[in-house]
Protein backbone atom coordinates (compact mmCIF):
# COMPACT_ATOMS: atom_id res chain seq x y z
CA UNK A 1 0.00 0.00 0.00
CA UNK A 2 1.45 3.36 -1.05
CA UNK A 3 2.30 5.86 1.69
CA UNK A 4 1.53 9.55 1.13
CA UNK A 5 2.74 12.76 2.64
CA UNK A 6 0.52 15.79 2.16
CA UNK A 7 2.89 18.73 2.41
CA UNK A 8 1.68 21.95 3.97
CA UNK A 9 -1.95 20.94 4.41
CA UNK A 10 -4.29 22.73 6.81
CA UNK A 11 -6.45 20.51 9.00
CA UNK A 12 -9.80 22.31 9.21
CA UNK A 13 -8.18 25.71 8.77
CA UNK A 14 -5.35 25.22 11.31
CA UNK A 15 -1.70 26.18 10.60
CA UNK A 16 -0.12 24.25 7.71
CA UNK A 17 1.65 20.96 8.50
CA UNK A 18 2.58 17.70 6.83
CA UNK A 19 0.08 14.86 7.06
CA UNK A 20 1.41 11.34 6.66
CA UNK A 21 -0.79 8.50 5.46
CA UNK A 22 0.52 4.96 5.86
CA UNK A 23 -1.20 1.58 5.77
CA UNK A 24 -4.52 3.31 5.35
CA UNK A 25 -4.19 5.42 8.47
CA UNK A 26 -2.92 8.76 9.69
CA UNK A 27 0.64 8.19 10.94
CA UNK A 28 2.73 10.32 13.30
CA UNK A 29 6.13 9.02 12.20
CA UNK A 30 8.02 10.09 9.04
CA UNK A 31 6.64 8.54 5.85
CA UNK A 32 9.80 6.67 4.90
CA UNK A 33 11.31 6.24 1.45
CA UNK A 34 8.97 5.67 -1.46
CA UNK A 35 6.15 7.78 -0.05
CA UNK A 36 4.30 9.80 -2.63
CA UNK A 37 4.43 13.55 -2.01
CA UNK A 38 1.30 15.64 -2.54
CA UNK A 39 1.84 19.39 -2.62
CA UNK A 40 -1.06 20.45 -0.40
CA UNK A 41 -0.05 24.07 0.22
CA UNK A 42 -3.23 26.15 0.44
CA UNK A 43 -5.42 23.05 0.72
CA UNK A 44 -7.72 22.24 3.62
CA UNK A 45 -8.20 18.65 4.80
CA UNK A 46 -11.66 17.60 5.98
CA UNK A 47 -12.80 14.18 7.14
CA UNK A 48 -14.37 12.49 4.10
CA UNK A 49 -17.90 13.74 3.53
CA UNK A 50 -20.83 11.44 4.34
CA UNK A 51 -24.17 11.77 2.57
CA UNK A 52 -27.27 10.49 4.35
CA UNK A 53 -29.49 10.93 1.31
CA UNK A 54 -28.40 9.78 -2.15
CA UNK A 55 -30.47 8.31 -4.96
CA UNK A 56 -28.24 5.95 -6.93
CA UNK A 57 -31.12 4.65 -9.12
CA UNK A 58 -29.76 1.11 -9.41
CA UNK A 59 -31.48 -1.31 -9.74
CA UNK A 60 -34.04 -0.06 -12.24
CA UNK A 61 -33.01 3.29 -13.71
CA UNK A 62 -29.44 2.68 -14.77
CA UNK A 63 -29.99 5.19 -17.59
CA UNK A 64 -30.07 7.94 -14.92
CA UNK A 65 -27.35 6.65 -12.56
CA UNK A 66 -25.73 3.44 -11.38
CA UNK A 67 -24.07 2.56 -8.11
CA UNK A 68 -20.77 2.93 -9.94
CA UNK A 69 -21.44 6.29 -11.64
CA UNK A 70 -23.01 7.65 -8.47
CA UNK A 71 -19.98 6.48 -6.50
CA UNK A 72 -17.73 8.32 -8.94
CA UNK A 73 -19.81 11.50 -8.60
CA UNK A 74 -19.68 11.15 -4.81
CA UNK A 75 -15.90 10.75 -4.72
CA UNK A 76 -15.54 13.74 -7.08
CA UNK A 77 -17.61 15.74 -4.59
CA UNK A 78 -15.37 14.79 -1.68
CA UNK A 79 -17.60 12.03 -0.29
CA UNK A 80 -16.30 8.80 1.18
CA UNK A 81 -19.67 7.31 2.16
CA UNK A 82 -23.20 7.62 0.83
CA UNK A 83 -26.49 6.19 2.06
CA UNK A 84 -28.46 4.90 -0.91
CA UNK A 85 -32.20 5.55 -0.82
CA UNK A 86 -34.59 2.64 -1.20
CA UNK A 87 -36.87 3.93 -3.99
CA UNK A 88 -35.28 1.78 -6.68
CA UNK A 89 -37.00 -0.74 -8.95
CA UNK A 90 -37.36 -3.23 -7.41
CA UNK A 91 -37.66 -1.33 -4.16
CA UNK A 92 -34.96 -2.04 -1.57
CA UNK A 93 -37.44 -3.65 0.82
CA UNK A 94 -35.81 -7.07 1.21
CA UNK A 95 -32.45 -8.41 2.34
CA UNK A 96 -31.81 -9.49 -1.27
CA UNK A 97 -32.07 -6.02 -2.79
CA UNK A 98 -30.13 -4.19 -0.07
CA UNK A 99 -27.37 -6.81 -0.33
CA UNK A 100 -27.28 -6.31 -4.11
CA UNK A 101 -26.80 -2.54 -3.72
CA UNK A 102 -24.21 -3.07 -0.97
CA UNK A 103 -22.28 -5.53 -3.15
CA UNK A 104 -22.32 -3.19 -6.16
CA UNK A 105 -20.93 -0.46 -3.92
CA UNK A 106 -18.11 -2.71 -2.77
CA UNK A 107 -17.33 -3.62 -6.38
CA UNK A 108 -17.16 0.05 -7.41
CA UNK A 109 -14.90 0.58 -4.40
CA UNK A 110 -14.88 4.37 -4.49
CA UNK A 111 -17.09 5.22 -1.51
CA UNK A 112 -18.77 3.11 1.15
CA UNK A 113 -22.31 2.60 -0.17
CA UNK A 114 -24.62 2.00 2.78
CA UNK A 115 -28.08 0.91 1.63
CA UNK A 116 -31.19 2.38 3.25
CA UNK A 117 -34.07 -0.08 3.53
CA UNK A 118 -37.70 0.72 2.77
CA UNK A 119 -40.04 1.09 5.74
CA UNK A 120 -43.02 -0.42 3.91
CA UNK A 121 -43.34 -3.09 1.25
CA UNK A 122 -42.98 -1.49 -2.18
CA UNK A 123 -43.05 1.97 -0.52
CA UNK A 124 -46.81 1.49 -0.65
CA UNK A 125 -47.41 2.54 2.95
CA UNK A 126 -49.58 -0.45 3.83
CA UNK A 127 -47.38 -3.12 5.39
CA UNK A 128 -44.01 -3.02 7.17
CA UNK A 129 -41.10 -4.34 5.10
CA UNK A 130 -38.68 -6.98 6.44
CA UNK A 131 -36.80 -4.50 8.61
CA UNK A 132 -35.16 -7.16 10.78
CA UNK A 133 -34.00 -9.23 7.81
CA UNK A 134 -32.42 -6.13 6.23
CA UNK A 135 -30.75 -5.19 9.53
CA UNK A 136 -29.19 -8.64 9.91
CA UNK A 137 -28.22 -8.97 6.23
CA UNK A 138 -24.66 -8.42 4.99
CA UNK A 139 -25.66 -4.81 4.31
CA UNK A 140 -26.43 -4.26 8.03
CA UNK A 141 -29.13 -1.69 7.32
CA UNK A 142 -29.67 0.84 10.12
CA UNK A 143 -31.61 3.60 8.34
CA UNK A 144 -35.07 2.90 6.94
CA UNK A 145 -36.99 5.30 4.73
CA UNK A 146 -39.81 5.35 2.20
CA UNK A 147 -38.26 8.54 0.79
CA UNK A 148 -40.13 9.88 -2.18
CA UNK A 149 -43.19 8.92 -0.16
CA UNK A 150 -44.21 9.80 3.37
CA UNK A 151 -45.05 7.07 5.88
CA UNK A 152 -48.40 8.79 6.28
CA UNK A 153 -50.22 6.14 8.36
CA UNK A 154 -49.50 7.00 12.02
CA UNK A 155 -50.01 3.42 13.17
CA UNK A 156 -47.42 2.09 10.70
CA UNK A 157 -45.02 4.89 11.63
CA UNK A 158 -45.40 4.02 15.30
CA UNK A 159 -44.77 0.32 14.65
CA UNK A 160 -41.72 1.08 12.50
CA UNK A 161 -40.25 3.29 15.23
CA UNK A 162 -40.87 0.54 17.80
CA UNK A 163 -39.40 -2.17 15.60
CA UNK A 164 -36.05 -0.50 14.86
CA UNK A 165 -35.31 0.08 18.55
CA UNK A 166 -34.14 -3.54 18.78
CA UNK A 167 -31.09 -2.79 16.62
CA UNK A 168 -30.71 0.96 17.27
CA UNK A 169 -32.13 1.75 13.85
CA UNK A 170 -33.59 5.04 12.75
CA UNK A 171 -36.61 5.93 10.62
CA UNK A 172 -35.84 8.69 8.10
CA UNK A 173 -39.10 10.37 7.21
CA UNK A 174 -39.96 12.23 3.99
CA UNK A 175 -42.38 14.55 5.76
CA UNK A 176 -45.26 15.31 3.40
CA UNK A 177 -48.90 14.89 4.39
CA UNK A 178 -50.14 13.54 1.04
CA UNK A 179 -53.69 14.82 1.38
CA UNK A 180 -52.33 18.37 1.56
CA UNK A 181 -50.09 18.13 -1.52
CA UNK A 182 -52.31 16.48 -4.11
CA UNK A 183 -51.42 17.90 -7.52
CA UNK A 184 -48.81 20.21 -6.02
CA UNK A 185 -46.27 21.71 -8.43
CA UNK A 186 -44.31 24.13 -6.26
CA UNK A 187 -44.28 25.90 -2.88
CA UNK A 188 -47.69 27.32 -1.97
CA UNK A 189 -47.29 31.05 -1.62
CA UNK A 190 -47.24 34.34 -3.40
CA UNK A 191 -45.29 33.00 -6.41
CA UNK A 192 -47.55 29.95 -6.94
CA UNK A 193 -50.58 32.25 -6.85
CA UNK A 194 -48.99 34.53 -9.44
CA UNK A 195 -48.13 31.57 -11.70
CA UNK A 196 -51.44 29.79 -11.13
CA UNK A 197 -49.70 26.55 -10.09
CA UNK A 198 -51.06 24.24 -7.39
CA UNK A 199 -49.11 24.78 -4.19
CA UNK A 200 -47.30 22.46 -1.74
CA UNK A 201 -48.01 24.17 1.57
CA UNK A 202 -45.38 24.38 4.31
CA UNK A 203 -47.89 22.95 6.78
CA UNK A 204 -47.91 19.61 4.91
CA UNK A 205 -44.30 19.14 6.06
CA UNK A 206 -44.66 20.72 9.48
CA UNK A 207 -47.73 18.67 10.45
CA UNK A 208 -45.95 15.37 9.78
CA UNK A 209 -42.79 16.44 11.63
CA UNK A 210 -44.90 17.53 14.61
CA UNK A 211 -46.73 14.20 14.63
CA UNK A 212 -43.56 12.18 14.21
CA UNK A 213 -41.57 13.86 16.98
CA UNK A 214 -44.49 13.06 19.29
CA UNK A 215 -44.52 9.45 18.12
CA UNK A 216 -40.73 9.15 18.52
CA UNK A 217 -41.00 10.66 21.99
CA UNK A 218 -43.83 8.33 22.95
CA UNK A 219 -41.98 5.24 21.72
CA UNK A 220 -38.51 6.40 22.82
CA UNK A 221 -37.10 5.72 19.39
CA UNK A 222 -34.92 7.53 16.86
CA UNK A 223 -36.40 9.72 14.14
CA UNK A 224 -34.49 11.44 11.36
CA UNK A 225 -36.24 14.09 9.26
CA UNK A 226 -35.20 14.27 5.62
CA UNK A 227 -34.77 17.53 3.69
CA UNK A 228 -36.29 20.04 6.12
CA UNK A 229 -37.43 22.97 4.02
CA UNK A 230 -39.51 25.44 6.07
CA UNK A 231 -39.02 27.90 8.93
CA UNK A 232 -42.00 26.31 10.70
CA UNK A 233 -40.36 22.88 10.60
CA UNK A 234 -37.28 24.39 12.22
CA UNK A 235 -39.43 25.65 15.12
CA UNK A 236 -41.07 22.23 15.62
CA UNK A 237 -37.63 20.61 15.68
CA UNK A 238 -36.22 23.24 18.02
CA UNK A 239 -38.95 22.54 20.58
CA UNK A 240 -38.63 18.76 20.22
CA UNK A 241 -34.87 18.86 20.73
CA UNK A 242 -35.27 21.13 23.75
CA UNK A 243 -37.52 18.43 25.27
CA UNK A 244 -34.90 15.76 24.59
CA UNK A 245 -36.69 13.91 21.79
CA UNK A 246 -34.27 11.67 19.85
CA UNK A 247 -34.69 13.49 16.55
CA UNK A 248 -32.11 14.55 13.99
CA UNK A 249 -32.66 16.51 10.79
CA UNK A 250 -31.05 17.30 7.48
CA UNK A 251 -31.22 20.16 4.99
CA UNK A 252 -30.19 20.04 1.35
CA UNK A 253 -27.73 22.46 -0.25
CA UNK A 254 -30.43 23.66 -2.66
CA UNK A 255 -32.80 24.58 0.17
CA UNK A 256 -29.97 26.64 1.69
CA UNK A 257 -29.44 28.66 -1.48
CA UNK A 258 -32.38 28.70 -3.91
CA UNK A 259 -35.92 30.09 -3.62
CA UNK A 260 -39.35 29.56 -5.19
CA UNK A 261 -38.83 32.69 -7.33
CA UNK A 262 -36.85 30.43 -9.70
CA UNK A 263 -40.09 28.68 -10.68
CA UNK A 264 -41.06 31.80 -12.63
CA UNK A 265 -38.61 30.57 -15.29
CA UNK A 266 -40.76 27.41 -15.71
CA UNK A 267 -37.44 25.57 -16.07
CA UNK A 268 -38.11 22.10 -14.58
CA UNK A 269 -34.51 21.91 -13.35
CA UNK A 270 -35.87 23.87 -10.36
CA UNK A 271 -38.65 21.38 -9.67
CA UNK A 272 -37.84 19.41 -6.53
CA UNK A 273 -39.67 17.74 -3.64
CA UNK A 274 -39.98 19.32 -1.12
CA UNK A 275 -40.13 22.42 -3.30
CA UNK A 276 -37.85 25.44 -3.15
CA UNK A 277 -39.29 27.75 -0.50
CA UNK A 278 -39.11 31.49 0.27
CA UNK A 279 -36.14 33.67 1.19
CA UNK A 280 -37.28 33.76 4.82
CA UNK A 281 -37.34 29.94 4.93
CA UNK A 282 -33.80 29.94 3.52
CA UNK A 283 -32.69 32.31 6.28
CA UNK A 284 -34.25 30.13 8.98
CA UNK A 285 -32.64 26.97 7.56
CA UNK A 286 -29.20 28.58 7.50
CA UNK A 287 -29.56 29.73 11.10
CA UNK A 288 -30.80 26.27 12.16
CA UNK A 289 -27.77 24.66 10.54
CA UNK A 290 -25.48 26.98 12.49
CA UNK A 291 -27.44 26.48 15.76
CA UNK A 292 -27.52 22.70 15.42
CA UNK A 293 -31.32 22.43 15.24
CA UNK A 294 -30.48 20.93 11.85
CA UNK A 295 -27.70 18.38 12.29
CA UNK A 296 -26.68 17.53 8.75
CA UNK A 297 -26.38 18.74 5.17
CA UNK A 298 -27.56 15.91 2.90
CA UNK A 299 -27.62 16.18 -0.86
CA UNK A 300 -30.87 14.43 -1.91
CA UNK A 301 -28.85 13.75 -5.09
CA UNK A 302 -31.65 12.85 -7.50
CA UNK A 303 -30.37 12.10 -11.00
CA UNK A 304 -32.96 11.98 -13.77
CA UNK A 305 -32.79 11.00 -17.42
CA UNK A 306 -33.14 13.86 -19.91
CA UNK A 307 -36.69 12.91 -20.97
CA UNK A 308 -37.86 13.02 -17.35
CA UNK A 309 -36.50 16.52 -16.79
CA UNK A 310 -36.46 18.39 -20.10
CA UNK A 311 -40.20 18.56 -20.60
CA UNK A 312 -43.09 20.69 -19.39
CA UNK A 313 -42.90 21.66 -15.71
CA UNK A 314 -46.05 19.71 -14.84
CA UNK A 315 -44.68 16.44 -16.27
CA UNK A 316 -41.08 16.76 -15.07
CA UNK A 317 -39.88 14.50 -12.26
CA UNK A 318 -38.83 16.35 -9.11
CA UNK A 319 -35.17 16.32 -8.10
CA UNK A 320 -31.67 17.67 -8.72
CA UNK A 321 -28.21 16.16 -8.82
CA UNK A 322 -26.14 17.40 -5.90
CA UNK A 323 -23.12 15.29 -4.94
CA UNK A 324 -20.58 17.28 -6.94
CA UNK A 325 -21.77 20.74 -5.91
CA UNK A 326 -22.73 20.18 -2.25
CA UNK A 327 -19.51 21.37 -0.63
CA UNK A 328 -19.13 24.43 -2.92
CA UNK A 329 -22.74 25.44 -2.19
CA UNK A 330 -22.24 25.02 1.56
CA UNK A 331 -18.99 27.02 1.36
CA UNK A 332 -20.84 29.79 -0.45
CA UNK A 333 -23.50 29.79 2.29
CA UNK A 334 -21.40 29.34 5.45
CA UNK A 335 -17.98 30.62 4.34
CA UNK A 336 -14.86 28.84 5.54
CA UNK A 337 -16.31 27.56 8.83
CA UNK A 338 -14.40 24.30 8.56
CA UNK A 339 -15.24 22.91 12.00
CA UNK A 340 -18.94 23.45 11.37
CA UNK A 341 -18.71 22.01 7.85
CA UNK A 342 -16.87 18.91 9.14
CA UNK A 343 -19.53 18.40 11.79
CA UNK A 344 -22.54 18.88 9.49
CA UNK A 345 -21.21 17.07 6.42
CA UNK A 346 -19.07 14.30 7.92
CA UNK A 347 -19.16 13.62 11.66
CA UNK A 348 -22.89 14.01 12.35
CA UNK A 349 -24.06 12.01 9.34
CA UNK A 350 -21.50 9.28 10.16
CA UNK A 351 -22.87 9.09 13.72
CA UNK A 352 -26.50 8.98 12.59
CA UNK A 353 -25.79 6.24 10.05
CA UNK A 354 -23.52 4.35 12.45
CA UNK A 355 -20.66 4.37 9.95
CA UNK A 356 -17.51 3.57 11.90
CA UNK A 357 -14.36 4.77 10.19
CA UNK A 358 -15.98 7.93 8.81
CA UNK A 359 -16.03 11.39 10.33
CA UNK A 360 -12.78 10.67 12.19
CA UNK A 361 -10.24 13.01 13.76
CA UNK A 362 -7.51 13.67 11.20
CA UNK A 363 -5.19 15.06 13.89
CA UNK A 364 -5.15 11.71 15.71
CA UNK A 365 -2.54 9.16 14.63
CA UNK A 366 -4.21 5.85 13.87
CA UNK A 367 -7.42 7.36 12.48
CA UNK A 368 -8.48 5.97 9.11
CA UNK A 369 -7.08 8.12 6.30
CA UNK A 370 -10.58 8.81 4.98
CA UNK A 371 -10.48 12.44 3.99
CA UNK A 372 -10.90 15.06 1.33
CA UNK A 373 -8.57 17.88 0.28
CA UNK A 374 -10.25 21.12 -0.75
CA UNK A 375 -8.82 24.20 -2.44
CA UNK A 376 -10.94 26.98 -0.91
CA UNK A 377 -9.37 29.67 -3.12
CA UNK A 378 -10.45 28.01 -6.37
CA UNK A 379 -13.71 29.01 -7.99
CA UNK A 380 -15.59 26.92 -10.51
CA UNK A 381 -18.37 27.78 -12.90
CA UNK A 382 -20.64 24.76 -13.06
CA UNK A 383 -20.91 23.23 -16.53
CA UNK A 384 -23.37 20.30 -16.60
CA UNK A 385 -21.29 18.54 -19.26
CA UNK A 386 -18.37 18.38 -16.78
CA UNK A 387 -20.39 16.43 -14.21
CA UNK A 388 -19.21 12.92 -13.37
CA UNK A 389 -22.78 11.81 -12.62
CA UNK A 390 -24.63 10.10 -15.46
CA UNK A 391 -27.34 12.81 -15.24
CA UNK A 392 -27.14 16.53 -15.89
CA UNK A 393 -30.04 18.01 -13.93
CA UNK A 394 -28.09 20.55 -11.90
CA UNK A 395 -29.73 23.87 -10.96
CA UNK A 396 -26.30 25.55 -10.86
CA UNK A 397 -25.38 25.55 -14.56
CA UNK A 398 -23.43 28.74 -15.20
CA UNK A 399 -23.17 29.55 -11.48
CA UNK A 400 -19.70 30.23 -10.09
CA UNK A 401 -19.14 28.58 -6.72
CA UNK A 402 -16.16 28.61 -4.35
CA UNK A 403 -14.01 25.59 -3.56
CA UNK A 404 -12.66 22.71 -5.59
CA UNK A 405 -12.24 19.11 -4.45
CA UNK A 406 -8.60 18.31 -5.21
CA UNK A 407 -8.32 14.83 -3.70
CA UNK A 408 -10.37 12.24 -1.84
CA UNK A 409 -8.93 9.32 0.11
CA UNK A 410 -10.81 6.25 1.33
CA UNK A 411 -8.83 4.31 3.98
CA UNK A 412 -5.54 5.57 2.59
CA UNK A 413 -6.31 4.90 -1.08
CA UNK A 414 -6.92 7.88 -3.38
CA UNK A 415 -10.27 7.86 -5.17
CA UNK A 416 -9.71 11.36 -6.57
CA UNK A 417 -6.38 13.02 -7.38
CA UNK A 418 -5.83 16.40 -9.07
CA UNK A 419 -9.62 16.75 -9.17
CA UNK A 420 -10.06 13.60 -11.27
CA UNK A 421 -11.62 10.30 -10.22
CA UNK A 422 -8.78 7.81 -10.13
CA UNK A 423 -10.61 4.85 -11.69
Query: What's the rounded Cα separation, in Å, for the pair 288 and 225?
Result: 14
174 in a labelled binding site? yes
Nearer to Zn ion, 135 or 226 (CB): 226
Nearer to Zn ion, 51 or 147 (CB): 147
Query: What's the rounded Cα separation, in Å, for the pair 64 and 309?
Result: 11
Least separation in angstroms between residue 24's CB and Zn ion is 35
Interface with Zn ion includes 224 (CB under 5 A)? no
Of residues 300, 375, 383, 386, which has the active-site annotation? 300
147 in a labelled binding site? yes
Pairing of strands 400-410, 79-84: unpaired
Least separation in angstroms between residue 299's CB and Zn ion is 11
149 in a labelled binding site? no
Using CB under 5 A, which of 58, 65, 147, 188 touches Zn ion? Answer: 147
Contact at 8 Å (CB) between 417 and 76? no
300 in a labelled binding site? yes
Least separation in angstroms between residue 357's CB and Zn ion is 27
132 in a labelled binding site? no
Interface with Zn ion includes 149 (CB under 5 A)? no
Interface with Zn ion includes 174 (CB under 5 A)? yes
Least separation in angstroms between residue 174's CB and Zn ion is 4
Residue showing the smallest CB distance to Zn ion in the complex: 174
Nearer to Zn ion, 147 or 250 (CB): 147
Site residues (CB under 5 A) for Zn ion, limited to 64-83: none
Measured over all CA atoms, what is the biggest interatomic distance in the chain, rounded to whole angstroms? 68
- CB under 8 Å to 265, separation ≥6 — which residues? none
Query: What's the rounded Cα separation, in Å, for the pair 80 and 415?
Result: 9
Considering only the stretches 61-69, 166-174, 275-283, 325-333, report the one whose residues sit in contact with Zn ion under the rule CB under 5 A.
Answer: 166-174
Contact at 8 Å (CB) between 294 and 247? no
Least separation in angstroms between residue 147's CB and Zn ion is 4
304 in a labelled binding site? yes
227 in a labelled binding site? yes
Least separation in angstroms between residue 87's CB and Zn ion is 9
Considering only the stretches 67-75, 145-153, 339-347, 373-381, report the one whose residues sit in contact with Zn ion under the rule CB under 5 A.
Answer: 145-153
292 in a labelled binding site? no
- To the query of whether residue 51 is one of the catalytic residues in this protein, the response is no
Least separation in angstroms between residue 171's CB and Zn ion is 13
Nearer to Zn ion, 38 or 302 (CB): 302
Nearer to Zn ion, 112 or 147 (CB): 147
Nearer to Zn ion, 137 or 391 (CB): 391
Nearer to Zn ion, 147 or 324 (CB): 147
319 in a labelled binding site? yes
| Residue set of the binding site for substrate | 55-57, 87, 273, 304, 318-319
| Residue set of the binding site | 53, 55-57, 87, 147, 174, 227, 273, 300, 304, 318-319
Give catalytic residue positions. 300
Q: Which residues bind Zn ion (CB under 5 A)?
A: 147, 174
| Residue set of the binding site for Zn(2+) | 53, 55, 147, 174, 227, 300
Amino acid sequence: MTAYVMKGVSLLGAAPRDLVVRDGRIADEPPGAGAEVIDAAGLVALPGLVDLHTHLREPGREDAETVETGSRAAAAGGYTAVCAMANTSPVADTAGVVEQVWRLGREAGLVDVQPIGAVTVGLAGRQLAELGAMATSAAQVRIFSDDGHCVADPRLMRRALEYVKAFDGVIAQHAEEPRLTEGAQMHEGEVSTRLGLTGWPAVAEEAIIARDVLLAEHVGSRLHVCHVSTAGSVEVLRQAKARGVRVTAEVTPHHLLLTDELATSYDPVYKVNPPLRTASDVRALRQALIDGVIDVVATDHAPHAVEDKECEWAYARPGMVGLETALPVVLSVLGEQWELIAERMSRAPARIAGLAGHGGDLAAAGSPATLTLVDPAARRTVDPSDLVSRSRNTPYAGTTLPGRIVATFLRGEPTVLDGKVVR
